[in-house]
Amino acid sequence: MAAKGRAKWEGDLKGGHGAFTAGDSISGDYSYKSRFEDGPGANPEQLIGAAHAACFSMALSNILAEGGHNPTSVETEATVQLRLLDDGPTITNIALKVVGVVPGLDEEHFLKHAEEAKAGCPVSKALAGVPEITMEATLAPS
């Protein structure tokens, strides 16, 4: 199955604006200010973070279930860091923070499965060019 996203930009970099659509129902506006100056609107890095968090959560849930530990929930936050480097804007770091509620599983095995999901989820693989992807994994009481 192919997934589609679209975007349109109008105007120059600093004064222009754009709009994007992901799939059929996710859309937003973006601008130089929303991307580089913390202004209102969305930015591509937020979409990357949401995609990574969603993919990772699904991958970890699947790994846990296949191992006989059906999770109650897996919640992931992905913080994507964009920095202005000498060669231009670059995503330099993605920090994953995951909290899982998994009855009957100990912390050691949860961390092992989280590392496996981090390495194996399709979005993690697609983002392999990011210099640093970190992860903080916590097993919450069930």
User: Residue 79: beta bridge partners?
Assistant: 95
What DSSP state is assigned to residue 42? Answer: B
Q: Return the domain boundaries, the chain.
A: 5-36, 44-140
DSSP string, 56-113: HHHHHHHHHHHTT---SEEEEEEEEEEEEETTEEEEEEEEEEEEEE-TT--HHHHHHH
Per-residue pLDDT of the chain (142 residues; tens, 9 = 90+): 889 999 999 999 999 999 999 999 999 999 999 999 989 999 999 999 999 999 999 999 999 999 999 999 999 999 999 999 999 999 999 999 999 999 999 999 999 999 999 999 999 999 999 999 999 999 999 8
- Write down the pTM of the prediction: 0.94
Minimal CA–CA distance to 59: which of 125, 11, 140, 141? 125
Token pair, residue 82, equals 């964009």
What DSSP state is assigned to residue 114? Answer: H
Give the pLDDT of residue 38. 87
- In three-state secondary structure terms, 126 is helix
Token pair, residue 108, equals 């050691």
- Under CATH, domain 44-140 is a member of which superfamily? K homology (KH) domain (3.30.300.20)
